[in-house]
Chain A
Amino acid sequence: MVENRPWANVFAHTVLIIGVALVVFPVYIAIVASTQAPYELLRGTLPLLPGSYGIENYTQMWQSGVSSSNSPPAALMLWNSFVMAMAITVGKLFISLLSAFAIVYFRFRFRIFFFWLIFVTLMLPVEVRIIPTFQVVANLNMLNSFAGLSIPLIASATATFLFRQFFMTIPEEMLEAARVDGAGPMKFFKDILMPLSVTNIAALFVIMFIYGWNQYLWPLLITTDPDYTTIVMGIQRMTSEENPQWHLVMAAVVMAALPPVLVILFMQRLFVKGLTETEK
């Protein structure tokens, strides 16, 4: 700040506090609703302060779910989301590291061609090619499985680009020294490249985990078996009932939002790095 203007500061804080309040408001309402007794939400307007039924609602949602809308217990849905998110994240990081390594550290035929082939995945989000992709997965017998949930989503142009960019900044001398000492390509990859990339891997991990956790359309299409319901999708099922049980729905919303929000809050520095460096 360049000058001292006390009133401008008061004004700025007011703007920010209103801004933060508006951003927090929907989630605050969700927390309030998830602690109300079932009848409280049928009476018309929602109270503005938390009620005392929080433990009951969360326990019920965690252990038994909402049977009328065919939603399994939240514990199972959260586990499914976690497995899917981890499989997508680890898969993306693994194959992107390998392909970036190949593109930067080898000279071979069709190198540029493969680079562009990977680039194309950036342009074809699931949303625009859902039916043919669904048909492919159905033909491969991958419906209702974790493989079907994760493998079609793990190709990643952004991660490959980021790792390529980073590998280009590693000094040439690293490779020269490793080769003089007789290290083969995979040894160089494992003992030199991987340790140097730890920060980048962690930053991408945060972004990819959130991406995987929040998948919606894809699980919706390829899982019909309640045993594979993920939490984000299960909540949609609960709200599409005639009279949704909002106190349980909101308990599930809070539980579904908590893991990725905690990831951001505790790894904020890595999150910002991952976000601003991948640019998407």
Chain B
Amino acid sequence: MQTKRMTFPGRWLPFALLAPQVIITLIFFIWPAGQALYQSLLREDAFGLRSTFVGLENFARLFRDGSYVNSLSVTVVFAVGTTLLSMSVALLLASTVNRMIRSRSTYTTLLVWPYAIAPALAGVLWWFIFNPSIGIVPYMLEMVGYQWNHRNSGSDAMLLVILAAAWKQISYNFLFFLAGMQSIPQSLIEAASIDGASPIKRFWTIIFPLLTPTTFFLMVVNVVYAMFDTFGIIHATTEGGPAQATNILVYKVYADGFIGLNLGSSAAQSVILMVIVVALTVIQFRFIERRVNY
């Protein structure tokens, strides 16, 4: 890793400059992560007085436990659903906005602001719209004969949290898709249209393939978002219910640790999540590097 050709001399100054960042990282990131690793190997007795070393028993238990396996599959459904929904809507909107000349910036402004809304608020907003007694969507659904109730039906609840999570993420995906499309050379598109390719054909044969790096990058970012940043949506609305139908992994870590007070199990879940984040971060950085080459 390079520095400048010419640098400042100084033995202690660089350490002093780094100190605040490094101290905070050590105290609030490295130490707790180490604690989680350590606690994941221990089991506390019923009174929390003694803890014994149990090796990988906490992990083995997790995978034998039906509710953890359920939480894994719920997380996969939630992450895939959120990613697909929000990316496809964003791609449609971005490719349409990209056609516009005069109205482009107006539409962009109208589409970017949901990024600012906290996930928990997005959850509350959609929870209210879908509220079975006063919400507006259940009222309309009833007219076509569907009884919406996210308090009883697991699939209704899942659909609700996916909608809320995808809604908030549309603006992020939209901005990246739009930026990606604007970096595609105009000459390619002009050449294709001289050869008589329709806008739809141009999209699928030129624009979409050239957007692949952006698409892959966004897929990773969206999965990370759905897995880790949506705690607020779940906590403010379904609280993992009904019957664990929306109990995603980050919510389960919190619920088992703070409500169930099962520290060993919660720590083991933390460790698994850390492994997932590290894997996703590595993938993300590889794609960023590839994007730079392209």
Measured CB to CB, the residues of A under 8 A from B are: 1-3, 5, 8-9, 12-13, 15-16, 19-20, 23-27, 29-30, 33, 41-42, 44-46, 48, 94-96, 98-99, 101-108, 111-112, 114-115, 117-118, 120-125, 127-133, 135-137, 151-152, 154-156, 160, 168, 172, 175-176, 179, 184-185, 188, 210, 213-214, 216-217, 220-221, 232-233, 235-236, 239, 246, 249-250, 253, 256-257, 260-261, 263-265, 268, 271-272, 275-276, 279-280
Residues on A with C-beta less than 8 A from B29 are 120-121, 124, 129, 155
A260 B117 Cβ-Cβ under 8 A: yes
Residues on B with C-beta less than 8 A from A130 are 253-254, 257-258, 270
A108 touches which of B14, B101, B115 (Cβ 8 Å): B14
Binding site secondary structure of chain B: helix
Given contacts A125-B277, A256-B121, 7 further A-B pairs with CB under 8 A are A12-B99, A98-B21, A106-B10, A106-B14, A117-B22, A236-B232, A249-B124
Tell me which of B41-49, B133-141, B148-156 binds A: B133-141
Complex CA–CA separation, A155 to B8 (angstroms): 25
A29 B274 Cβ-Cβ under 8 A: no
Residues on B with C-beta less than 8 A from A179 are 6, 8
Residues on B with C-beta less than 8 A from A257 are 116-118, 121
Q: Provide a sorted-by-A list of 9 A–B residue pairs whose CB atoms are within 8 angstroms.
A: A23-B110, A106-B13, A127-B231, A128-B250, A155-B29, A232-B120, A236-B232, A264-B115, A276-B175
B117 A20 Cβ-Cβ under 8 A: no
A236 B28 Cβ-Cβ under 8 A: no
A12 B134 Cβ-Cβ under 8 A: no
Residue of B13, B121, B128, B266 with highest tally of chain A CB at under 10 A: B121
Interface size on B, residues (CB 8 A): 103
Complex CA–CA separation, A46 to B129 (angstroms): 9
Q: Least Cβ distance of A86 to chain B in Å?
A: 16
A114 B270 Cβ-Cβ under 8 A: no
B232 touches which of A1, A48, A185, A232 (Cβ 8 Å): A232
Across the two chains, which residue of chain B brings its CB closest to A106?
B14
A131 B113 Cβ-Cβ under 8 A: no
Tell me which of B30-38, B56-64, B65-73, B74-82 binds A: B30-38
Q: Is B228 an interface residue (CB 8 A)?
A: yes
A217 B32 Cβ-Cβ under 8 A: no
A216 touches which of B1, B30, B118 (Cβ 8 Å): B118
Complex CA–CA separation, A117 to B15 (angstroms): 13
Complex CA–CA separation, A96 to B229 (angstroms): 23
Residues on A with C-beta less than 8 A from B126 are 26
Question: Do A151 and B24 form a contact, CB below 8 Å, given A104-B3, A117-B30, A132-B39?
Answer: yes
A95 touches which of B21, B111, B136, B267 (Cβ 8 Å): B21
Residues on A with C-beta less than 8 A from B28 are 133, 136-137, 151-152, 155
B133 A44 Cβ-Cβ under 8 A: yes
Q: Is B293 an interface residue (CB 8 A)?
A: no
Q: Is B179 an interface residue (CB 8 A)?
A: yes
Contact with A along B190-231 (1 / 0, CB 8 A): 100100000100000000000000000100010000001101
Residues on B with C-beta less than 8 A from A129 are 29, 32-33, 36, 270, 274
A3 touches which of B1, B27, B193 (Cβ 8 Å): B193
Residues on B with C-beta less than 8 A from A133 are 28, 32
A8 touches which of B24, B118, B171, B199 (Cβ 8 Å): B199
A118 touches which of B21, B36, B97 (Cβ 8 Å): B21
Complex CA–CA separation, A28 to B55 (angstroms): 54
A152 B267 Cβ-Cβ under 8 A: no
Complex CA–CA separation, A113 to B44 (angstroms): 35
Q: Least Cβ distance of A274 to chain B in Å?
A: 11
Q: Is B144 an interface residue (CB 8 A)?
A: no
Question: Do A210 and B116 form a contact, CB below 8 Å, given A12-B100, A29-B129, A217-B231?
Answer: yes
Residues on B with C-beta less than 8 A from A135 are 32, 35
A26 touches which of B125, B175, B270 (Cβ 8 Å): B125
A108 B15 Cβ-Cβ under 8 A: yes
